[in-house]
Amino acid sequence: MQALWMILGSFFFATMAVGIKIASASFNTFELVFYRGVVSVIFMALVLRARGTPLRTRVPMMHTWRTVIGVLSLASWFYALAHLPLATAMTLNYMSGVWVATFIVGGAVLYGQAQRQGPLMATVLAGFAGVVMMLRPTLEQNQLFAGLIGLLSGLGAALAYMQVTALGKIGEPEGRTVFYFSLGSAVAGLLGVLFTGLSSWSAASWQALAWLVPIGVLASLGQWCMTRAYSRGATLLVANLQYSGIVFAAFYSLLLFGDMIPLIGWAGMALIVASGLAATALRRRILPDTPAEEH
């Protein structure tokens, strides 16, 4: 069941990316981060109120670390998007799954349990190979610094996901984790807007304006699904299934923007799907699910 949460979260994030692509023609990056954060804060506050979940937490520093590293990762990814080819920036960010697998397997080696994690690690690497086949990244010599920043965005995302897992293990509600990350995103976006200024709303297209609220809601739903998946599921399996977002994004590009997918792209897509199915099967055989507590 937790695997489905990650797939659903990837779908929400891919749909949100469509909105960002349309809205970015009228609003700069910091504005989009700010508007997304504000809408997410309002949406999650209403959800938490309806569910009777208090905002007060026993572990404020854990939320602070998750929020800070998550926002820095997001900012690094946006920098990479601005200075690298889109495919390269996305590939470096999606290396988060490889980083997560490295952390997990490294810990397993220390505790003498590497043989249990090895097959799942292989599926993560296979999924990432599918991502590379679909996106076919390139990097020029004058883009090495931006490439390093993009690599750090993936590392930061991996650290944030590991912190999400830690918050779930101690019983923090997923909605509260998403709320504090949304709040941090809004604050970071606001600071950026103070330096860059606001775009003119009168010059924005109605399509861009219409996407501002859905972007925030979709970001909240995607973060919630991802948080639940990492909090309650097998981390390596979830890291692999995160690549499904590339598949959803590819179909959106094909259907909405007329982008053609070459044969190697379809092969990469098939590899991503196959690695996800293999990871799910291995998860059930090697590490049987245990009932998760509701919190």
Q: What is the pLDDT of residue 289?
A: 45
First-residue to last-residue Cα distance in the chain: 16
The mean pLDDT value for 25-33 works out to 85
- By residue count, the chain amounts to 295
Q: What is the pLDDT of residue 294?
A: 37
Determine how many CB atoms are found less than 10 A away from the CB of residue 76: 24
Residue 233 has pLDDT above 80, yes or no: no
d(CA 94, CA 23): 23
3 state DSSP class of 19: helix
Q: Which of 35, 20, 295, 44 is nearest to 172 (CA)?
A: 295
pLDDT tier, 221 (very low <50, low <70, confident <90, very high otherwise): very high
d(CA 44, CA 220): 7
Question: pTM score, two decimals?
Answer: 0.82
Residue with tokens 């379809």: 266
At 135-160, the pLDDT tens digits run: 787 777 778 888 889 889 889 988 99
- Cα–Cα distances in angstroms (integers) from residue 141 to residues 84, 138, 144, 146, 148, in the given order: 11, 10, 6, 10, 12
Residue 183 has pLDDT above 90, yes or no: yes
Q: What's the chain's average pLDDT?
A: 83
Residue 119 has pLDDT above 90, yes or no: no
Q: Which of 271, 267, 224 is nearest to 13 (CA)?
A: 224
Letter string b/e over residues 103-131, b meaning 16 or more CB atoms within 10 A of that residue's CB: bbbeebeeeeeeeebebbbbbbebbbebb
Q: Please tell me the chain's helix, strand, coil percentages from 3-state DSSP, rounded to the nearest 5.
A: 80, 0, 20
By CB atoms closer than 10 A (0-12, 13-18, 19+), residue 46 is: exposed
**Do the Cβ atoms of 6 and 226 come closer than 8 Å?**
yes
Q: Which of 165, 178, 188, 177 is nearest to 74 (CA)?
A: 188
Helices (H), 24-110: 29-51, 60-83, 86-93, 96-110
The mean pLDDT value for 233-257 works out to 81
